[in-house]
Structure formats: structure tokens, C-alpha cells
Amino acid sequence: MRFLITTPIYYVNDKPHIGHAYTTLAADVLTRFLRNQGKEVFFLTGTDEHGSKIAQSAKKLGISPKVFCDKNSRLFKNAWENLNIKYDFFIRTTDAKHEENVKSFLNKLKEKNILYKKNYEGLYCIECEKFLTEKELFNGKCRDHNIRPTKVLEKNYFFPLKDFLKKIEDLIKTEELKIEPESAKKEALGLIRQGLDDFSISRRKVRWGIKLPFDKSQTVYVWVDALLNYITGDGSKKFKQYWWENGYVIHILGKDILKFHTIYWPALLIAAGIKVPNQEFIHGFFTVNGQKMSKTLRNTIDPNNLVEKFGADATRYLLLSQFPFGQDGDIKEENFVKKYNSDLANGLGNLIARILTLLLLAKYDLQNPKYRADKKILEMVKGIDEGYKKYMGNLKFYEALKEIWKLIDYCNKYINENKPWELIKTNKKKSDQILSNLLYCIFKIVELISPFLPVTSEKIRNQLKSGKLEILFPRMGASY
Ligand code: MSP
């Protein structure tokens, strides 16, 4: 089976923070895991670059919106490079090919007579880039941005969302569109039951956007523009046929944008006669010291700083091992050092150093394992391997990491109990069997960690080949 894995495309108005990194890392880890299983995968990510907020930010800096987008889009690319995230294509909504695809998609809806024109008066929050209902306000202000929305009166083109709700409900219920975890599925079905209004797909007020092909006085609503990135992909015809239409499509996203992905997006696709995604996985939110992470609170954590401090592999581990993927969780930066020391320096790093030291001491021929691992070890590893695969396939990264660390802890205990350093002198045969067992376990660990810690995995492989010991994760002092 071939897979298309996507992240949301990130707003260039913000700088990359660990919330963005979390979604992108998850997609990267899943991609690497599936490739290890011999699957074909296309991994798509990118940046969302239109809307008045972006035009305003550029104006403040005295530069054109395009220059602003070029600069900020690069920040995301750099952050992903630092985290060793390997996507297949990085889409930008200002790419000419994407703009062309958006226009032809809207032309298609127009030709099918799906869109209608209507006067629209609403309260528009420029920060959310969306209309808010009275109910959604708090003291007349947007709850998320604490600003008063502006009253906007426009004649817009509307998309008849209501006509598609029943169909979407069926797709979700039958799992033709699989929404995970269960709580997110319930939320999507709840929104449908409550009833949702038709939405306007164009804006007269927003100038920095893609012009509507059949009415140049309007631009395409940023969310429609952004969602369409998933079918534009790298802009090739092959992408649409090979990856979208014939692939198993998985969207990974955070819970704040559930409505757009689970309801608006499938509706647009059904209307245009295009296949809907197969699966959407909705993850939770990071708070920092109990508070929502936001620019205004100045508590955003820059993934680049973490990489500088801990290295790419450790940062990848630290972010994905915080809490189960579908849930919310709180981050305390000082816990990163503790976790780094306990799991990576003392856990994995120390284990590899211990085993390699023992192998060298015993003059064990690393190229030719002496014995097959014994039955008990084979069964234990098989159990771990099965658990790991099940979790990874369901994007349960936190649980999958726990399985790997079970094996690491087992090996550390196994060494303590069997004391091979003594047996090397007294019972060579027994010590060789123990070392063969440990070598078997390391090879398994190397395989299982590779989607999370690709560089470390490679380093261990090389150490096993060359027999040269190298510290993988130096311990960090508390002052860090
Ligand atoms: N541009 C839209 C997406 C359009 S996709 C068709 C957008 N961008 S975003 O930059 O604001 O957010 C992108 C992703 O980062 C979302 O999946 C969002 O949930 C995630 N996160 C943003 N803040 C987060 C946390 N504090 N914690 C975890 N994830 C967070 O929305």
C-alpha cells in the first residue's frame, strides 16, 4: 500500500514553535516507520502564506508580503532541517502551481453550480481569519485573541456546507473517513449534529490572496486556499493520481483545526467529486507551565534552541515522549534535562556503552554472532516488537517508545543479574551466550528506535561494525 502523509501547512505569520514541531515530527516518524516496513510514502508539509494578517505584518516591517513570506517560510524549512525532518515536498500557498490548482478547483465548483452568492454580515476576527458568532465572543471580544472583531458587510460566494453534512456523518461513522482518537471522532460528529452553517469561500476585504477566477474583486478564503494544498502537493499530475487518488491518505493535525479538516475539507472534496482522505489523526496541545503557548504570553519554545542544547535526535525523543499523542500535556523545560539524563544518557546510551565494552572485553567477533539468542529472549523481543508495531501503526508514539524502553531496561537488568564481566573469566561459553543475547537485543533496539532517533540508530550500527566505542548522549548537569 502507498501512503500520503501530511501535516497542516504552517502560518508564516508565526515563527516555528514546539507545537508546530510536534505535528511535523509525528509525520516524519510515521513516514520513517512505514518506510522501514517497506511501504511507499510521500510526506508533504509546507507554509500557509495568504491573508490580511500576513499583509499587515509585512507592512509593519516595510516589506512586501511576498518578501515577508519568503523569509518566514525559510524559518520553517530551517527548523525542520535542524530536527532532521525529511519531507518529500514543501508546499507554499504562494507557489504558482498551487494558485493555478486553487483556481481550477473553484472553477469546477462554479461550473457545477455549487456556489451561490449572498450578502453576508458578520463579525470578523482578523487574527483568526474567520467570522465569529456572538456566542463565540467573550465580553464582545475574540476569546483567543482578546480583540474586538470588526463588523463586515460583503457580498460573497457561499459553499452549501449543509447539503453535505449527512454524507460526511456517514463517512465518519462507517470509518470510510477514519477520525482518531475516538474523542476527536465524537467531537466531529457532535459538530455535525449541532448543525453548521454554509460558509463563504471568498473575501472582498482581503487583498493578499488568490484572486477568484470568476470574480477578480474577491480573493479565495484562506482556509479553502490552505486546505487545497493537500491535493496540489508537488504540483505534478502524478501527485494527484498516484498519491492522492490511489494512496492511503493520512492527515495529522492539532485539535484546534479539527472542524476545518473533518467537515469543511471532506465537503469541498465531495462537491468536486474527489476522493476524501482515509484517515485524520488529531493530536493534543502543549501548554507550557500550565499556560497556553502564545506569542502574547512570550512563552513559546523554539525547537531550534532545544536542538542546540540536546541535539536533533534527543529533541525528537523529548518532544514525542512527553505524553500520549492524542492527549494534551504540559511542558516544563527543566524536565527535559531530567528526561534526557534518565532515558537517553543513563538508559539507552549507557546500555550501548556497557554492552560494547563487554563485547570488546570478551573479544567477541561482532561480525559473526556466536550463538542464536535463546528462546526466552526471542519470545520477549517478539512481544515487544509486536506491541511496538501495533502502537506505531496507530500513531501511539508515546506507547511505542515505552515498549522500546522496556527492552532497554530489561537488558540493563539482565546484565546486572548475569554479571557477564565475571563469566568472561570463568565460563566463556555461558558469557558468549549472554553476549549473543544482548547483541540480538541491541540490533532490535537499533531497528525500533530508527524512526525516532535516526542518527543514533546509525551511530550504534557503525559502532557495532567498527568496534569503536563512542559516547552517544553525554550526561548533562542540572545547570543546563
Ligand atoms: N495554517 C493553518 C493550517 C492550515 S492546514 C490546511 C494553521 N497553522 S498553524 O501554524 O497555526 O498551526 C499548525 C499546527 O500546529 C496545527 O496542527 C496546530 O494544532 C499545531 N499547534 C499549534 N500550537 C500548538 C500547541 N501549543 N501544541 C500542539 N500543537 C500545536 O492552523
d(CA 290, CA 27): 26
SS3 at position 209:
coil
Ligand 1 geometric centre to CA of 363 (Å): 52
Q: Indicate whether residue 225 lines ligand 1 (CB < 6 A).
A: no
Q: Whole-model pTM? A: 0.94
Asked if 468 and 404 touch (Cβ cutoff 8 Å), the reply is: no
Please identify, by atom number, the ligand 1 atom nearest to the C-alpha of residue 287. 26
Burial (CB count <10 Å: 0-12, 13-18, 19+), residue 159:
buried
Q: Which of 5, 7, 11 for a ligand 1 pocket mutation test, highest count of atoms within 8 Å of Cβ?
A: 11
pLDDT at position 479? 55
Ligand 1 geometric centre to CA of 19 (Å): 7
Closest CA to 448 of 412, 399, 413: 399
Whether residue 181 is preceded by a cis peptide bond, meaning omega within 30 degrees of 0, is yes
Ligand 1 geometric centre to CA of 253 (Å): 7
Ligand 1 geometric centre to CA of 101 (Å): 23
Nearest CA to ligand 1 atom 6: 227
Q: Indicate whether residue 243 lines ligand 1 (CB < 6 A).
A: no
Q: Which of 102, 221, 256, 261 for a ligand 1 pocket mutation test, highest count of atoms within 8 Å of Cβ?
A: 256
Ligand 1 geometric centre to CA of 317 (Å): 20
Q: Indicate whether residue 75 lines ligand 1 (CB < 6 A).
A: no
Residue 198: count of CB within 10 angstroms of its CB: 17
Q: Indicate whether residue 223 lines ligand 1 (CB < 6 A).
A: no
Residues 6+ apart with CB under 8 A from 111: none
Residue matched to cell numbers 514553535: 17
Q: Indicate whether residue 286 lines ligand 1 (CB < 6 A).
A: yes
d(CA 354, CA 387): 26
Asked if 98 and 49 touch (Cβ cutoff 8 Å), the reply is: no
Helix %, strand %, coil % of the chain (to 5): 55, 15, 30
Residues of the chain with pLDDT under 50: 480
Q: Indicate whether residue 68 lines ligand 1 (CB < 6 A).
A: no
Show the DSSP H helices in 96-212 as ranges: 96-111, 165-173, 182-194
d(CA 357, CA 375): 25
- Residues with catalytic function: 17, 20, 125, 128, 142, 145, 292, 295
Ligand 1 geometric centre to CA of 392 (Å): 22
pLDDT tens, 35-94? 999 999 999 999 999 998 899 999 999 999 999 999 999 999 999 999 999 999 999 999
Q: Indicate whether residue 424 lines ligand 1 (CB < 6 A).
A: no
Phi and psi at 130, nearest 5°, equal: -155, 160
CA 269 to chain centre: 23
Q: Indicate whether residue 22 lines ligand 1 (CB < 6 A).
A: yes
Ligand 1 geometric centre to CA of 255 (Å): 8
Ligand 1 geometric centre to CA of 10 (Å): 6
SS3 at position 270:
helix
* Diameter of the chain measured on Cα atoms: 90
Asked if 65 and 54 touch (Cβ cutoff 8 Å), the reply is: yes
Q: Indicate whether residue 421 lines ligand 1 (CB < 6 A).
A: no
Q: Indicate whether residue 233 lines ligand 1 (CB < 6 A).
A: no
Nearest CA to ligand 1 atom 13: 10
Q: Which of 14, 80, 257, 296 for a ligand 1 pocket mutation test, highest count of atoms within 8 Å of Cβ?
A: 257
d(CA 301, CA 452): 20
Asked if 120 and 75 touch (Cβ cutoff 8 Å), the reply is: no
Nearest CA to ligand 1 atom 16: 254
Nearest CA to ligand 1 atom 15: 20
Half-sphere exposure of residue 135: CA atoms within 13 angstroms, side-chain side: 0
Burial (CB count <10 Å: 0-12, 13-18, 19+), residue 112:
exposed
Query: Looking at the DSSP assignment, which residues form a beta bridge with residue 10?
Result: 47
Q: Indicate whether residue 23 lines ligand 1 (CB < 6 A).
A: yes
d(CA 469, CA 451): 23
Q: Indicate whether residue 257 lines ligand 1 (CB < 6 A).
A: yes
Ligand 1 geometric centre to CA of 202 (Å): 22
